[in-house]
A and B are shown apart, each in its own frame.
Chain A
Amino acid sequence: MNELALERKPSILRELMKNHATASKNVVFIGEGLPHPETIPFSEVSFTLKDGTKKVFTGSELVTAINYLPTQGNPKLVQKLREFMDRFHAPLRWEDRDVIATAGSQDGLSKVIEMSLQKGDAIVVADPVYSGLASNVRPYKAQLISAQYRKNGLDTVEMKDKLTAIWSSRSKDVKIPKILYINPVANNPSGHVISDEQKREIYEIACEFNLLVLEDDPYYFLGFQDELPKSFLSMDTENRVVRFDSFSKIFGGGLRAGWMTGPKEIVRIVEMHMQVSVLHASSLTQAIVLQILEEQGWDGFLDYTKNVKEFYRKRRDQMVALADKYLTGLAEWDVPEGGMFLWVKVKGVSDVLAMVMERGLKKDVMLIPGHAFMSDPTKPCPYIRLSYSLVPMEDVEKAMQRLAELIKEEQAIESQK
């Protein structure tokens, strides 16, 4: 933890709220500055699901859905999430760990980064890496130490070699990393899924080099294998994994429904930072999530996620077929093993920046140049990320045609240089 994190103290008023909840009924509290329920204009909030089920929040349930909550979260939801982790990962020791509901999983990630990094620190990542991680670490001028994704997964030999070199270096400029960031299921942008065996290798590396593992897993239920992957958290014998889960791809990103699981000390620091910033994740979002989990039960939830997974798998197949049709010979890609992105390497073009950002726009097709996902965005990059989640397939086909032309034109320009 950096100095800033160590200096955090609990928010007096938020702690008072905790005390009130457990104090004897004889004590009169006239300290807390809470709005009076009579001034709140809501009388009922209800939601209906596509399967017809309906839930109405009224009375005391509405109060919980509409008013301030403890920072850690709606207490029933927090308990539910602990049970969720026990069910889907492994029975965890809740004496050493805890859960906190966050306003999207990325807020948890951001707060752990801010808790931990100092200017110039190093952090280990897998390339290509989620651009949201970059937005959080670059302001700290962080050095990204990267291992590449290859055909058979993450290059753990590269990771180990680089870490060994750092630890044996005498140079003052070489910072020893304390954190490993990884998005192990359907890595954004490349779509790779790290196998269970490889996860064990990576975990051993983390133990050897004393790294905190930030397991950022919003696509956990969107991996296209039949079995759910084993998470780093489930193999975390040393309590060094901080895991970020999300309902964004399952219930809706707009809800800002995520949670973090990790060592108690780390959860506490994040809680204190949240106490003075967001205060807590939206009460209504938490009430809704709790209701759905209670209604569906674990099996129902799993079935539900399987449908979502099937939806994206079908689209992946359609997109890959179109890529085969239009881009064979012009580009290369690994078939995504989960998620919503196709990570394409353009052949014969060393840097796609101008191709995508200037010429692509003129051809009325908008793609993301891979630079956004590389640990060194200033280097020439031949990759582009295509999303297959939203756009109708007829339009995707048109886009592929345009992309094929774009690449051919670009290859011609390149060969003339």
Chain B
Amino acid sequence: MLSANKLIHCLTKNNYCKLTILRTFSAGSIDAMSQPIDYDRFINDLSARRKVSPIRELTKLFTTAPPGTIFLAGGIPNGSTFPFSRMTVELKDGTTFKLEGKKIENALQYQPTPGYPPLVEQLQKFQTQVHGLDSTFWQKNSLLVSTGSQDALCKALEMSLSEGDPILVQEPIYPGTSAIIRPLNANMVPIGQDEHGIVPSALRSALSNYGSSEKVSAMKKDVPKLLYLNSTGANPTGATIPTERKKEIYDIACEFNLVILEDDPYYFLHFEEKDPVSFLSMDRESRVLRFDSFSKILSSGLRVGFVTGPKELVSRIELHTQASTMHTSALSQAIVSSLLDEWGSEKLLQHFKMIQQFYKGKRDCMLASADKHLKGLAEWSVPRAGMFLWIKVPGIADTKKLITEGGIEHGVILVPGKDFLAYDDAQSQYFRASYTVASPEDIDKGFARLANLIKAEIA
């Protein structure tokens, strides 16, 4: 269970660490070693005060009530007053499906907060298959359909963070996430990445600033409890964390009692033979909250994502959802559910393969333009997944200044690296370019202009 690296690290670090390992080894079987997590540690006071809606509870109760029970406890409108009789969806591959009768009624009616029941079931099966989850997984964990994966992420952060809390985040970081964290007055503890994602020794080093793992894992305040990262095709670096490194990171999370927020919207947008191995799939201690999204693979506008993780935590997200959006659009969910049904696993996998090949082509096109125009002026790694090329311009101190002052004039806009940093006062030598939408001509034009912009600055 303890990886070799971790053992060596501990043995060379100090005697205290060695004693800890000896003690845990002698505790007996592997199962005895991992004690059930006290999830209260990850739930702030406000979230803890959220209560179940009595109406929702009664509605759940009704589903198991004896036949003949009359339910006047509902608060929902009468579906016969809704104006729709049918929706039809046609896909590019010729598949067609309809929502009519009971299906359209359900698509228009209020749903349970965790999701449109057929879709929840489909997604549980999907997760089990994709991540190799064992038969006991769903006893300890649950799944909730969210209005885009970011809504679940937002609610998870709002559930857990309190003012002044430190939170470990990959840096550079997706600005959508830092925009959630900052108003909560939580302190981002940035963990640097190399081309394979966050560096485990940097993570361990940052954590040891707070004390020993024993000390940190027992505290609720003033220590980091959450680790936020993208597993695949990170935004903006394009890094995908290799399996071995994921295991190291996971072990550190176990040691320091962290919850890993695995934000993985690009999971299926990789350029490898096999799908990546996720943190969720190795989550023996139930400390991963995984955020999945259909935005990059089916539709961004339908706003359908899902969160998978420990029941104690997903239920807090559920309660917040109950009070706000109530549930993800039932129509969106019904469409996704019908599409998954019509396609089955085979067509779905074919679809993923199509997307992967498509974006790989786009990536290669951008790399070719980068080679052509930016060689000698900039550096970059080849993205193994996702939508982005992370370009370093060693000759420039601050790309934000460069693009703000010269971008419009030279006719090219990219996102400056500064926007992806945890702190305002830092500078960045990087740009993020996206190869997904721009045409090959525009990419080439854009990089030619960028080259001019850089040359003009360095001169």
Q: Which residues of A contact B (CB under 8 A)?
A: 3-5, 7-9, 11-13, 16, 20, 23-24, 26-36, 38-51, 64-69, 103-104, 106-107, 110-111, 119, 131-132, 135-136, 138-141, 188, 248-256, 272, 275-285, 292, 304, 307-308, 311-312, 315, 340-341, 361, 364-369, 371-372, 385-391, 395-396, 398-399, 402
Contacts of A387 in B (CB 8 A): 72-76
Q: Say if the beta carbon of B326 comes within 8 Å of chain A.
A: yes
In the complex, which residue of chain A has the Cβ closest to the Cβ of B184?
Answer: A4
In the complex, which residue of chain A has the Cβ closest to the Cβ of B303?
Answer: A282
Q: A33-B388, A131-B53, A283-B302 are in contact. Are A11 and B72 (CB under 8 A)?
A: no
| Pair A107/B71 contact, Cβ less than 8 Å | no
Q: A4-B184, A5-B183, A254-B106 are in contact. Are A364 and B331 (CB under 8 A)?
A: no
Most buried by A among B301, B329, B331, B445: B301
Q: A131-B55, A386-B72 are in contact. Are A254 and B331 (CB under 8 A)?
A: yes
In the complex, which residue of chain A has the Cβ closest to the Cβ of B88?
Answer: A46
| Pair A252/B84 contact, Cβ less than 8 Å | yes
Q: A33-B434, A251-B108 are in contact. Are A103 and B355 (CB under 8 A)?
A: no
Give CA–CA (A214, B49) in the complex, Å. 23
Give CA–CA (A3, B184) in the complex, Å. 9
Contacts of B258 in A (CB 8 A): none
Q: Nearest-CB distance from A120 to chain B (Å)? A: 12
| Pair B84/A50 contact, Cβ less than 8 Å | yes
| Pair B436/A367 contact, Cβ less than 8 Å | no
In the complex, which residue of chain A has the Cβ closest to the Cβ of B414?
Answer: A31
| Pair B419/A12 contact, Cβ less than 8 Å | yes
| Pair A33/B387 contact, Cβ less than 8 Å | yes
Residue contacts A-B, CB under 8 angstroms, 19 given: A4-B183, A7-B183, A30-B413, A32-B415, A33-B388, A35-B436, A39-B354, A45-B89, A45-B90, A46-B87, A47-B84, A111-B324, A139-B47, A251-B83, A277-B180, A308-B81, A364-B65, A372-B55, A396-B72
In the complex, which residue of chain A has the Cβ closest to the Cβ of B319?
Answer: A135
Give CA–CA (A44, B407) in the complex, Å. 38
Contacts of B65 in A (CB 8 A): 361, 364, 366
Most buried by B among A9, A28, A49, A388: A28
Which of A276, A304, A368, A386 lies in contact with B83, CB distance below 8 A?
A304
| Pair B72/A277 contact, Cβ less than 8 Å | no
Which of B109, B328, B388 lies in contact with A253, CB distance below 8 A?
B109
Q: Say if the beta carbon of B433 comes within 8 Å of chain A.
A: yes
Which of B90, B151, B408 lies in contact with A277, CB distance below 8 A?
B151
Taken residue by residue from 51 to 76, chain B's Cβ proximity to chain A (1 for < 8 Å, 0 otherwise) reads as: 10111001001100110111111111
| Pair B324/A27 contact, Cβ less than 8 Å | no
Q: Nearest-CB distance from A334 to chain B (Å)? A: 18
Contacts of B331 in A (CB 8 A): 252, 254-255, 282, 284-285
Contacts of B359 in A (CB 8 A): 36, 39
Q: Nearest-CB distance from A205 to chain B (Å)? A: 27
In the complex, which residue of chain B has the Cβ closest to the Cβ of A402?
Answer: B70
Give CA–CA (A49, B176) in the complex, Å. 38
| Pair B87/A47 contact, Cβ less than 8 Å | yes
In the complex, which residue of chain A has the Cβ closest to the Cβ of B181?
Answer: A276
Q: Say if the beta carbon of B380 comes within 8 Å of chain A.
A: no
| Pair B332/A139 contact, Cβ less than 8 Å | no
Which of B70, B93, B446 lies in contact with A395, CB distance below 8 A?
B70
Q: Say if the beta carbon of B132 comes within 8 Å of chain A.
A: no
Give CA–CA (A387, B75) in the complex, Å. 6
| Pair B443/A138 contact, Cβ less than 8 Å | no
Give CA–CA (A368, B288) in the complex, Å. 37
Contacts of B144 in A (CB 8 A): none
Q: Could you tell me the dominant secondary structure of chain B's interface residues?
A: mixed
Q: A41-B91, A252-B109, A282-B331 are in contact. Are A7 and B84 (CB under 8 A)?
A: no
Give CA–CA (A31, B414) in the complex, Å. 4
Contacts of A386 in B (CB 8 A): 72
Give CA–CA (A315, B84) in the complex, Å. 21
Contacts of B154 in A (CB 8 A): 276-277
Which of A4, A140, A253, A284 lies in contact with B110, CB distance below 8 A?
A253
| Pair A135/B322 contact, Cβ less than 8 Å | yes
Which of A30, A103, A141 lies in contact with B438, CB distance below 8 A?
A30
Taken residue by residue from 389 to 426, chain B's Cβ proximity to chain A (1 for < 8 Å, 0 otherwise) reads as: 00000000000000000011001111100010000000
Which of A51, A254, A304 lies in contact with B109, CB distance below 8 A?
A254
Q: Say if the beta carbon of B257 comes within 8 Å of chain A.
A: no
Q: Nearest-CB distance from A114 to chain B (Å)? A: 8
| Pair A45/B83 contact, Cβ less than 8 Å | no
Interface residues in B, total, Cβ within 8 A: 113
Contacts of A132 in B (CB 8 A): 53, 323
Stretch of B23-31, B246-254, B273-281, B291-299 lying at the A interface: B291-299
Contacts of B295 in A (CB 8 A): 35, 68
Q: Say if the beta carbon of B362 comes within 8 Å of chain A.
A: yes
Which of A41, A49, A111, A136 lies in contact with B298, CB distance below 8 A?
A41
- The 5 lowest CB-CB distance pairs between A and B, nearest first, are A283-B301, A254-B330, A252-B108, A110-B324, A7-B183
Q: Say if the beta carbon of B79 comes within 8 Å of chain A.
A: yes
Most buried by A among B110, B326, B388: B326
Most buried by B among A29, A68, A281: A29
Most buried by A among B70, B107, B302, B387: B70
Contacts of B86 in A (CB 8 A): 47-48
Q: Nearest-CB distance from B44 to chain A (Å)? A: 10
| Pair A368/B54 contact, Cβ less than 8 Å | yes
| Pair A135/B50 contact, Cβ less than 8 Å | yes
Q: Say if the beta carbon of B235 comes within 8 Å of chain A.
A: yes
| Pair B301/A30 contact, Cβ less than 8 Å | no
Q: A48-B86, A402-B70 are in contact. Are A13 and B415 (CB under 8 A)?
A: yes
| Pair B388/A29 contact, Cβ less than 8 Å | no
Q: In chain B between 327 and 378, which residues have their CB closer than 8 angstroms to a CB of chain A? A: 327-332, 335, 339, 351, 354-355, 358-359, 362
Q: Say if the beta carbon of B232 comes within 8 Å of chain A.
A: no
Contacts of B408 in A (CB 8 A): 24, 27
| Pair A248/B77 contact, Cβ less than 8 Å | yes
| Pair A367/B73 contact, Cβ less than 8 Å | yes
Q: Nearest-CB distance from A292 to chain B (Å)? A: 7
Give CA–CA (A104, B82) in the complex, Å. 16
In the complex, which residue of chain B has the Cβ closest to the Cβ of A341?
Answer: B75
Q: Nearest-CB distance from B448 to chain A (Å)? A: 10
Contacts of B382 in A (CB 8 A): none
Q: Nearest-CB distance from A107 to chain B (Å)? A: 5
Q: Say if the beta carbon of B428 comes within 8 Å of chain A.
A: no
| Pair A285/B329 contact, Cβ less than 8 Å | yes
Q: Nearest-CB distance from A243 to chain B (Å)? A: 18
Contacts of A279 in B (CB 8 A): 148, 150-151, 303
| Pair B70/A365 contact, Cβ less than 8 Å | yes
Contacts of A340 in B (CB 8 A): 75, 77-78
| Pair A188/B437 contact, Cβ less than 8 Å | no
In the complex, which residue of chain A has the Cβ closest to the Cβ of B438?
Answer: A30
In the complex, which residue of chain A has the Cβ closest to the Cβ of B351?
Answer: A41
| Pair A104/B432 contact, Cβ less than 8 Å | no
Q: Nearest-CB distance from B418 to chain A (Å)? A: 10
| Pair A390/B176 contact, Cβ less than 8 Å | no
Contacts of A371 in B (CB 8 A): 54
| Pair B303/A254 contact, Cβ less than 8 Å | no
Which of A276, A315, A365, A368 lies in contact with B55, CB distance below 8 A?
A368
